[in-house]
Amino acid sequence: MEIPFHKYQGTGNDFVMIDNRGLSIPRDSVSLFAALCHRHLGVGADGVILLQEKEGFDFEMVYANADGRESTMCGNGGRCIVRFAEACGIVRERYHFLAVDGMHEAMAYPDAVSLKMQHTAFPVRDGEAWVLNTGSPHWVRFTDGVGQLDMKKEGAAVRYSDTYNKEGINVNFAEWLGDKLFMRTYERGVEDETLSCGTGVTAAALSLAAELHWPAGAHRISVDTPGGTLRVHFTLEDDGSYRDIWLTGPARHVYSGTIRPAGLY
């Protein structure tokens, strides 16, 4: 059997997209997904995303990390699947789709896709870092010289620490440049630095509001990653929670092809 696939990327965070509305591929195909994501022996990607039908929604997003295991929410993947849905003939003014963390809204523009994230509680302190869940768990530390960090070493040290080893956590180092953020992310499930992480960018933006003691109200911030720039809009409520969180940036088709699973092993 040959599997048609489509490669998409959002600020360098890349995904193998599969139209699985016929349910030909089980969502627990761990070894297949890991093989597809292999940078040398497969297509190469940070994750695999299945587009499936779901009653009451425009579609369902099923996401697996590069290790092949179904994972928590992926922000850039959520933006990319909206662009993929367009290519599959699912065209809406405003999308409503189901992901692992619940329903998401999204809007597609010519040069960007905006994804509404889930409401998020105020981050908690872990030493000099902030910890919060933006659909996926994140650890965020603000520091200087982020561009010079050995992200694989520094990220793994936190991800495999006694505190986070069992469940894993995504590790972000961010630098406030006065008018925007620059950040880098080590992702669990990929176990390496990725060029961008949508839930990580969201986590860093929300953590910055806590770090700098921003007042309640609407805020927007631009976030540079090694793979490109994303924008985060959100409202900080009087009770410290975050609402109306939107993640916006490019989501692009790279190429399409077919692959024989037997050839991956």
Query: How many Å apart are CA 13 and CA 149, to the nearest integer?
Result: 19
88 is catalytic: no
Two structure tokens written together for 162:
């006694």
Q: Which residue has the tokens 């960007």?
A: 112
Two structure tokens written together for 92:
């809406």
Backbone angles phi, psi at 209, to 5 degrees: -60, -35
From the list 37, 74, 80, 88, the catalytic residue is 74
Beta strands, E only, 109-169:
113-116, 124-126, 129-133, 137-142
Cα–Cα distance list, 140 to 7, 31, 105, 186, 222 (Å): 29, 31, 25, 11, 16
CB 158 within 8 A of CB 164: yes
Query: How many Å apart are CA 105 and CA 198, to the nearest integer?
Result: 15
Task: Using CB atoms within 10 Å of the CB of residue 223, give its burial: 0 to 12 exposed, 13 to 18 middle, 19+ buried.
Answer: buried
37 is catalytic: no
From the list 37, 80, 88, 197, the catalytic residue is 197
- Total count of residues recorded for the chain: 265
For CA atoms 99, 53, 195, 186, the dihedral sign is positive
Decide: helix, strand or coil at residue 119. coil
Task: Please list the active-site residues.
Answer: 74, 197
